[in-house]
Amino acid sequence: MSRLTRLIPWRQTPATLIAASLVVAGFLLMSVSWWFLVLVGLGTFGPGVLRELGWLRDKDEWQQRAAHRAGYHAFLVAGLLATVLMAYFRSGDRMVRNPQELATLFMVLLWSTWFFSSLFSFWGAKKTAMRVLLAFGGFWMVFIVAANTGTEWQGPVGLFMSLLLAVPFFALAWLSRRWPRIAGVLLLVAAVFFFVRLGMHDVSATDWIDRAVLIVLFLGPLLGSGIALLQVGAGEDEADAA
């Protein structure tokens, strides 16, 4: 196993590789039965449980502290959401579509909070924000190109104009390295803008749970990056841990 892990350019422990395999297998087999989602859970949370029990010692003290911090952040965010939802459901007769998706919402919120908190620990706020924004810009461009095929073809000018919408993401990525606090404010403004523009503020709609999942996945990274950038001190040089 150690020979195999040495072939991989980035250092990952055997436990992490096994866990990742379980997650991938679980996702692939979910089309056969939803019970294979349990494999995803085992892969995601199993190593952490083993580490807390002291049966797995593959992380050093810094990595353990980063994991504990990320877990605490996920607890805080999920706890806040749980409180709001309890108040919401108990304050009136609520009709929502797909209530079982509440579990999905919590899973997505927990995982994404833990994931981005870990990234901020490993890369620092500026590098994480820059990479998040580059990823957003890149995905947007891929989406536009893919959407402009076949009968949807808008012509080269139309395609170019659509691709220009990715420019703000790349501009913010550059800004986050030079002026992080300004970029942080702009990211928060962008998050609010998309929240309203995409109609995600309408919680009276019965499909607000599905919208909430989109909020977490789409706006969460922007919001998290914005908040993290606001906390970057003047002249602070980010740790280049990766």
Partner 1 sequence: MKPRHDIRNNLRRYRLLADGMTQQDLADRVGVTRQTILSIEKGKYSPTIGLALRLAREFEVPVEDLFELDEENN
Which C-beta is closer to partner 1: that of 121 or that of 225?
121
Do 176 and 229 touch, CB atoms closer than 8 A? yes
Among 52, 65, 145, 217, binds partner 1 (CB under 8 A): 65
**How far apart are alpha carbons 3 and 222 in whole angstroms?**
39
Residue 240 interacts with partner 1 (CB under 8 A)? yes
Which C-beta is closer to partner 1: that of 69 or that of 201?
69
Please count the other Cβ atoms lying within 10 Å of the Cβ belonging to residue 199: 9
Residue 237 interacts with partner 1 (CB under 8 A)? yes
Among 33, 34, 53, 60, binds partner 1 (CB under 8 A): 60
C-alpha dist (Å) from residue 127 to 69, 77, 80, 202, 242: 19, 23, 28, 33, 10
Report the site for partner 1 in 106-135 (rule: CB under 8 A): 121-122, 124
Among 3, 7, 8, 61, binds partner 1 (CB under 8 A): 61
Query: At closest approach, how far in Å is the CB of 185 from partner 1?
Result: 21
Taken as a whole, the chain contains a residue count of 242
Q: Which stretch binds partner 1 (CB under 8 A): 60-68, 102-110, 207-215, 222-230?
A: 60-68
**How far apart are alpha carbons 180 and 142 in whole angstroms?**
27
DSSP type of residue 8: S
Which C-beta is closer to partner 1: that of 61 or that of 152?
61
Which C-beta is closer to partner 1: that of 58 or that of 101?
58
Do 51 and 59 touch, CB atoms closer than 8 A? yes
Which C-beta is closer to partner 1: that of 27 or that of 122?
122
Residue whose C-alpha is closest to residue 126's, from 192, 184, 69: 184
Binding site for partner 1 (CB under 8 A): 11, 60-63, 65-66, 69, 121-122, 124, 237, 239-242
